[in-house]
Structure 1
């Protein structure tokens, strides 16, 4: 996989950061998808939509690649932080923030106006995930790329069990929304099959599914911080496991990449 933006802590001249363990796999897949989309469309600059993009964790690095990015987010504070981050990165002219959400998406952006859409960390929180995916797909031009990232059920079950919370682990496993209890901060989780099915039903040809944070959230932080070369080795392990279906069932997050059907 290619090295992502320095914003993700993966510069070749410096030691990878722990933060990169949470984003590197998705960034690598996304960057490759944007390169393919630009080549296929014959456009050097793509129109990219980031729904729920918040303060620009992905939007700003995408803009640094030279693309035009529109971020739709319901939080004014997040959009203010986005503006500041884009300015600091020197891409303020390529990033536009708009207040809104995925259910009212076409109140603020045009249908079929984008070459790529990012929908990261959104489906867990919306009332109707299926509608959210349909709107994300509808925002794409023909053959446009959609990047979906959502919380994985198996990762939550495993994490609760390893923490000794066995009743909560069983609750998450049997709950229709994958929640482990009233104190669970995540309203909904998905299996890889559920997420891929939502994409397919919305008119997307699913190209790949990746497990994200398969090991990173389970390894003790003190081990990663003190063992020489641990971050680099764990990052390589995450990348190696990401595409293997056997590990999708225990990933903290699931990433689906697809292309809009004609």
Structure 2
């Protein structure tokens, strides 16, 4: 991966990582221990799992792709955290074939609701993996951001259809819909953050130099906290507690 691709990747995860790090610290303080048990559903190649393990936490990744899990294992080995990372092939439908209920202090559920047939059932399953007092990190595609992306790409008919019929963009969500799903599975919704408000819209050539990249990153972090920018975001991130 080129340096430019790494920078763009870090831009996409920076806000979520910042929020997740703070949530880890709060959970560790509440639990009275430094090492937490983290379940990463759909964790793929370990974009979050490996950094979490490098912090000293025990991370279990469940993902349906054997290729992604193989990449995760290599990545964990390169980072020297193979003893802290477990990888299992599976999905939310068979989650408890490989992990126990109420076994995780933190559950990471990023990009999962977009690919399952029944988002509510999937969320109910991952919520059941949380211990009492545990925290869920939920990241999902934002419907209004998807409409904007289609319009900017010239797919005006698709964008117009989605304005009048949310079903025209399946597996895209509003903040209210995600909040309702969390409440339905017995979780208490917490902070909401807009993710990738500007970074997917800004041409890469404008952030080739480190100073411009850092300035855009600061802008992303500032916009993430402002509710009025959620409608522009590619993704919405929510924390919830059990």
Structure 2 length as normaliser, TM-score?
A: 0.94
**Distance apart, 1:164 and its partner CA:** 2.8
How far apart in 1 are the matches of 2:46 and 2:165?
Answer: 32
1:150 matched to which residue of 2? 140
Structure 1 residues 246 and 178 mapped into 2: Cα distance closer, same or farther (>3 Å)? Answer: farther
2:13 matched to which residue of 1? 23
The 8 Å contact of residues 119 and 146 in structure 1, kept in 2 or not, is answered as yes
Determine whether 1:244 maps to 2:234.
Answer: no
Structure 1 residue runs of 4 or more that deviate by more than 4 Å after TM superposition: none
SS at match of 2:92: coil
Please give the residue correspondences for 1:1-262 in structure 2 after superposition, counting only pairs within 5 Å.
17-179=7-169, 187-225=170-208, 229-260=211-242
Superposed CA offset, 1:87-134 (max 9, x none): 000100000001110122111110001100000010001011001111
Structure 1 residues 213 and 127 mapped into 2: Cα distance closer, same or farther (>3 Å)? Answer: same
The 8 Å contact of residues 212 and 238 in structure 1, kept in 2 or not, is answered as yes
Cα root mean square deviation, aligned: 1.5
The 8 Å contact of residues 178 and 188 in structure 1, kept in 2 or not, is answered as no
Whose helix fraction is larger, Structure 1's or Structure 2's?
2
**Distance apart, 1:249 and its partner CA:** 1.2
Instruction: Count matched residues.
Output: 238
**Distance apart, 1:178 and its partner CA:** 4.8
Structure 1 residues 105 and 177 mapped into 2: Cα distance closer, same or farther (>3 Å)? Answer: farther
How far apart in 1 are the matches of 2:144 and 2:13?
Answer: 19
SS at match of 1:71: strand
5+ residue gaps, structure 2: none
